Amino acid sequence: MAELILPRFICDEIVAHARQGAPEEVCGILSGQGHVAMGLYRARNVAPSRFIDYVVDDQTLLRQFEFEERGQSMVAIYHSHTESPAFPSATDARQAYYPDSAYIICSLQRPERPVIRAFRLIQGSPQRLDREQIPSDATPVRGNSSFLARYVGDGHCGRYDLYTLSPEQEAEWLPCHVYEVAILIV
């Protein structure tokens, strides 16, 4: 998906949802066909730390069956960043379970000028490695010493290298490729 077509009412609804939910992050899913969004489903954010994270509730995810019966699919998942740019975080990359969907981020970093951007987040296969193989520039995510990350690339395309340490200090590496998707508002 190189481009995502969003009707103006969907963009407006994403921004309205983000503003209404602030300072917590909000989330939802978009249905559509191909790369054209047609419907928006607000979700409940059930993440334990809703001020810095999001998890779409199961009931909203189950709505996919409804729109799949109409020949549509989940074309995007959206969420807000209330204090950071419209760019996927390492946590967003770690939770990117839908490689065929775009991930839309609505940033309210400047509330008077919300920014909406879309990305494809495609995880590779996890690999075990020795703790010593973790690059020195991988840093703890949100102070969590068992989850480290580094980003290689620019603000449009790149890769997150995500490292998870078990209590036994075994390490796992998960690459997640980040590709910006152009948004066309109609």
**From 3, 13, 25, 68, the catalytic residue:** 25
Of the candidates 88, 62, 56, 79, the one whose C-alpha atom is nearest the C-alpha of residue 153 is: 88
Catalytic (active site) residue 25: yes
**Under 8 Å CB-to-CB from 40, ≥6 apart: which residues?**
10, 13, 14, 28, 29, 30, 31
Strand partners, 178: 121, 158
Helix or strand (DSSP H, E) at 162? strand 157-165
Residues forming the active site: 25
